């Protein structure tokens, strides 16, 4: 009898941290592009929304892994900024 967990590679803490940091850095890039191209004021609401977006990208990269990272990079390629 084989376990269903053998099909899925075990992820260590370092891999989870690397995936979070990769997703968060791409999320920060997504946030930085509109702020650098426009004259949006940085108030508490905008900073909070930007921080939540960066954290969300990091968490989604942990959960979805390569699929999310590839989709995020593909969206940057289509926008012409990457």
C-alpha pair distances (Å), 29 with each of 35, 44, 54, 68: 10, 19, 9, 15
Calpha distance 25→46 (Å, rounded): 18
C-alpha pair distances (Å), 73 with each of 9, 28, 48: 24, 13, 23
Residue 48 has pLDDT above 90, yes or no: yes
- The residue with greater pLDDT, 5 or 43, is 43
Cβ contacts of residue 50 below 8 Å, gap of 6+? 31, 35
Residue 4 has pLDDT above 60, yes or no: no
pTM here is 0.72
């Amino acid at each position: 009898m084989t376990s269903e967990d053998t099909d899925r590679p075990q992820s260590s803490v370092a891999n989870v941290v690397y995936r979070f940091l990769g997703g968060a850095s791409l999320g920060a890039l997504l946030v930085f592009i509109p702020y650098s191209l426009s004259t949006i004021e940085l108030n508490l609401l905008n900073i909070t929304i930007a921080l939540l977006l960066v954290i969300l990208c990091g968490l989604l990269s942990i959960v979805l892994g390569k699929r999310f990272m590839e989709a995020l990079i593909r969206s940057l390629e289509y926008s012409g900024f990457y």
